[in-house]
């Protein structure tokens, strides 16, 4: 991958622990590395990640902040930017996340449920610090931790958001996310072509060949990909070598 295309590791947090643990590497399959999101962030940084994507499942589902101190610790523990998704419902949430050290917040529910406040947020903090997540089920946007259908077509919603000033979208085919069934590139391609904005692919990536397929879309604005399960299951060449070589750096 060249410097213009980012592979972004995802850390999913629930009940103050990572949802996924690294598989296939005996040196890192202890509880210390498996459950601690801060250590996981350090591992991805050691593997040369340039950005980390964090999802707070508890905050997304219940609008609670019990994991936010961990997010702040991650921001203070790695020297790369951290993107944060989960439970940003108002301007106060957004500003608190940025104060913790997050470089960019990811949201959708607020843009739909509190449109005027969302517009005000863009004006106050700038579009560069905001990504709108397009979580899609059969071309329909879903919100509230992907539990509520909105009736909004994803392309219509993306065009609307772009007109408000949004410059980046994270596109997820919810039915493929976490299943290693391959990414739905058609959704991402259409969003990029329709809006002219930057697009991050999320969900479904299984191997380096699919990464190269995504990279081919960079010329139309698809410039990054978020990967979770495939990284944790060591589906990419050299992951094992990197981890074994660097396993002692946290001692």
| Active site annotation includes 173 | no
Among 190, 248, 241, residue whose Cα is nearest residue 47 = 241
DSSP 37: H
| Active site annotation includes 56 | no
Among 228, 227, 242, residue whose Cα is nearest residue 25 = 242
Contact partners, residue 248, CB within 8 Å, separation at least 6: none
Among 182, 41, 4, residue whose Cα is nearest residue 201 = 182
Of 58, 93, 135, 223, which residue is the catalytic one? 135
Cβ neighbourhood burial of 171 (10 Å; 0-12, 13-18, 19+): buried
The answer to whether 221 and 198 are in contact (CB under 8 A) is: yes
Of 12, 56, 58, 93, which residue is the catalytic one? 12
Bridge partners of 198, per DSSP, are 168
Active site residues: 12, 135
């Amino acid at each position: 991958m060249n410097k213009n295309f980012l592979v972004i590791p995802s850390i999913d947090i629930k009940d103050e622990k990572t949802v996924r643990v690294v598989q296939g590497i005996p040196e890192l399959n202890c509880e210390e590395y498996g459950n601690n999101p801060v250590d996981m962030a350090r591992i991805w940084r050691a593997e040369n990640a340039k950005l980390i994507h964090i999802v707070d499942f508890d905050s997304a589902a219940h609008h609670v902040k019990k994991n936010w101190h961990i997010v702040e610790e991650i921001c203070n523990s790695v020297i790369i930017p951290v993107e944060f998704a989960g439970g940003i419902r108002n301007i106060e949430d957004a500003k608190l996340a940025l104060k913790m050290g997050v470089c960019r917040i990811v949201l959708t529910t607020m843009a739909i449920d509190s449109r005027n406040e969302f517009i005000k947020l863009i004006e106050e903090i700038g579009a560069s610090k905001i990504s709108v997540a397009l979580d899609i089920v059969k071309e329909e946007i879903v919100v509230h931790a992907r539990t509520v259908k909105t009736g909004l077509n994803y392309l219509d919603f993306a065009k609307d958001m772009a007109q408000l000033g949004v410059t980046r979208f994270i596109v997820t085919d919810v039915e493929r996310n976490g299943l290693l069934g391959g990414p739905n590139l058609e959704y991402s391609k259409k969003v990029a072509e329709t809006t002219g904005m930057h697009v991050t692919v999320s969900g479904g990536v299984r191997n380096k060949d699919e990464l190269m397929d995504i990279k081919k879309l960079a010329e139309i604005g698809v410039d990054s990909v978020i990967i979770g399960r495939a990284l944790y299951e060591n589906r990419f060449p050299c992951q094992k070598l990197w981890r074994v070589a660097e396993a002692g750096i946290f001692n």
